[in-house]
């Protein structure tokens, strides 16, 4: 049982409710180009509207470094959210101070306000108590629905709960349950599909999950280090020389534990990481000295899919190639399509660990065909590493809520 309370446990009816969301979304020409994170928090917003709460949303956008950066204002996000909700989302030109208080005072029950970028103030990332208290003064209750930012000990994440009754929104709960299921109670066999550019980004995840998995598939740029650990030359591929001993350790442990391990048997290599670069498929034993791995090959795709078919739960973290370039996206597309098919036809529990992998499945139009696609990159990695997330630890327990205070 979780020690934190849900938004449904909080006294939100008719109250001013501050909701930390993760609206760090891509903008182009002042327009939102991917609204996945906005759509993800709609259930929490609509629940609060049903409770006639006055809803105050706060988020960061980009890395403005504690100063106002015009291109990182949240007004375009408020406009897009208005479209999704079918009603005006009001916008405050600051997140604390007179402008914020004035905008909050004007809210009617059920109305929604988006505060300006939290990171325009240095106190946000410094977890300054004065900034947290100023933010908390806008509301009577706090809800964290920003899973993607909950690994940060920032003022809006861990500071505000010191001053307000605080609980988890529906998105945060969904993320914790989906990822937590992989760690504690997966349907077996459990498969781990790993990719991405670097082994170094995934060391802790591998160490935490290796004792739990039945099938381990490694693709992407990180496969080069594992291939090198087997004595295979990888040309100009990104190679983490200092992590070759770790890769050997993983190979040894999978053998000792009886884990089914699959590395690429063929790869797409290219002379450069750019569109139009010459590229071709070779067996891993014949990677040319001038080539670099940019995707997995057809035989590897077939082998990986065969392994996935055996699984009842699969966690996928990291694309299989440089998916931003269409010619190098075939492996990533094949994995997404296979997981979507198995989810629909065999009841596979398919969980995507956020970041670039989530971006890829959204671009492919397959996110809604998978069991869960995380909205948090760094947060999902830290959670899968077995770490406590500061934003979750900061939420109130039912005992604290019953007392009406924190000790």
Q: What is the pLDDT of residues 360-403, one digit of tens each?
A: 999 999 999 999 999 998 999 999 999 999 999 999 999 999 98
Say whether 376 is catalytic.
no
* Dihedral of the alpha carbons of 71, 363, 152, 60, in degrees to the nearest 10: 20
- Provide the pLDDT for residue 354: 73
What is the CATH architecture assignment of 7-168+388-403? 3-Layer(aba) Sandwich (3.40)
378 is catalytic: yes
User: Which member of 52, 75, 162, 198 is catalytic?
Assistant: 198
Confidence of residue 279 (pLDDT cuts 50, 70, 90): very high
Which of 125-129, 156-160, 274-278 is the least confident region? 274-278
Determine which of 315-319, 332-336, 347-351, 400-404 has the lowest per-residue pLDDT on average. Answer: 400-404
- Among the four given CATH numbers 3.10.150.10, 3.40.50.1260, 1.10.460.10, 3.30.70.980, the one describing domain 175-376: 3.40.50.1260
How confident is residue 406, by pLDDT bands cut at 50, 70 and 90? Answer: confident
* Mean pLDDT, residues 324-336 taken together: 96
Across all residues in the chain, what is the average pLDDT? 95
pLDDT for residue 405 is more than 90: no
Q: What is the pLDDT of residue 1?
A: 46
Asked if domains 7-168+388-403 and 175-376 share a fold, the reply is yes
Strand order across the beta sheet in which 292-296 lies? 279-283, 266-270, 292-296
pLDDT of residue 407: 66
pLDDT digit string, tens, across residues 163-211: 999 999 999 999 999 999 999 999 999 999 999 988 998 999 999 999 9
Q: Specify whether 52 is catalytic.
A: no
The predicted pLDDT at position 114 comes to 98
Domain boundary assignment for the chain: 7-168+388-403, 175-376
Measured between alpha carbons, how far is 155 from 125 in angstroms, rounded to an integer?
Answer: 7
Assess whether 228 carries a catalytic annotation.
Answer: no
Q: Choose, from 37, 174, 228, 333, the residue flagged as catalytic.
A: 37
| Catalytic residue selected from 159, 167, 355, 376 | 355
Question: Of the candidates 322, 358, 314, which has an alpha carbon nearest to the alpha carbon of residue 338?
Answer: 314
Catalytic residue among 110, 378, 398, 406: 378
* C-beta of residue 293 within 8 angstroms of C-beta of residue 237: yes
- Indicate if the pLDDT at residue 289 is higher than 80: yes
pTM of the model: 0.92
Please report the pLDDT score of residue 2 as a whole number: 63
Tell the burial category of 299 from Cβ atoms under 10 Å away from its Cβ (0-12, 13-18, 19+): middle
């Amino acid at each position: 049982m979780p020690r934190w309370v849900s938004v449904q446990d909080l006294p939100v009816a008719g109250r001013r409710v501050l909701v930390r969301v993760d609206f760090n979304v891509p903008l182009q020409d002042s327009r939102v180009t991917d609204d996945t994170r906005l759509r993800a928090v709609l259930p929490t917003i609509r629940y609060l509207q049903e409770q006639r709460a006055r809803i105050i949303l706060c988020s960061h956008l980009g890395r403005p470094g504690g100063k106002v950066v015009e291109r990182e204002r949240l007004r375009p996000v408020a406009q897009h959210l208005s479209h999704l909700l079918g009603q005006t989302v009001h916008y405050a030109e600051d997140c604390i101070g007179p402008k914020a208080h004035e905008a909050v005072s004007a809210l009617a029950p059920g109305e929604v306000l988006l505060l300006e970028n939290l990171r325009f103030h240095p106190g946000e990332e410094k977890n300054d108590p004065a900034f947290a208290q100023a933010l908390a003064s806008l509301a009577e209750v706090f809800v964290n629905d920003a899973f993607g930012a909950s690994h940060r000990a920032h003022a809006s994440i861990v500071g505000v709960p010191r001053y307000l009754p605080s609980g988890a929104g529906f998105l945060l709960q969904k993320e914790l349950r989906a990822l937590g299921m992989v760690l504690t109670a997966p349907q077996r066999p459990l498969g781990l599909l790993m990719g991405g550019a670097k082994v170094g980004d995934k060391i802790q995840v591998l160490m935490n999950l290796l004792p739990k998995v039945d099938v381990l598939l490694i693709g992407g740029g990180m496969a080069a280090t594992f291939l090198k650990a087997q004595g295979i030359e990888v040309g100009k591929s990104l190679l983490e020389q200092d992590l070759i001993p770790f890769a050997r350790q993983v190979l040894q442990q999978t053998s000792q534990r009886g884990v089914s391990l699959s590395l690429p048997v063929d790869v797409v290599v290219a002379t450069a990481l750019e569109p139009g670069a010459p590229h071709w498929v070779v067996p891993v034993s014949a990677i040319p000295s001038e080539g670099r791995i940019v995707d997995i090959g057809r035989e590897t795709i077939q082998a990986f899919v065969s392994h996935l078919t055996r699984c009842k739960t699969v966690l996928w973290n990291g694309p299989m190639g440089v998916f931003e370039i269409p010619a190098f996206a075939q492996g990533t597309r094949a994995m997404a399509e296979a997981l979507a098919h198995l989810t629909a036809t065999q009841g596979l529990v398919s969980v995507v660990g956020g970041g670039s992998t989530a971006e890829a499945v959204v671009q492919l139009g397959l996110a809604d065909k998978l069991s869960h696609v995380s909205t948090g990159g760094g947060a999902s990695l830290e959670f899968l590493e077995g770490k406590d997330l500061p934003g979750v630890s900061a939420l109130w327990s039912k005992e604290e809520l019953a007392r009406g205070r924190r000790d």
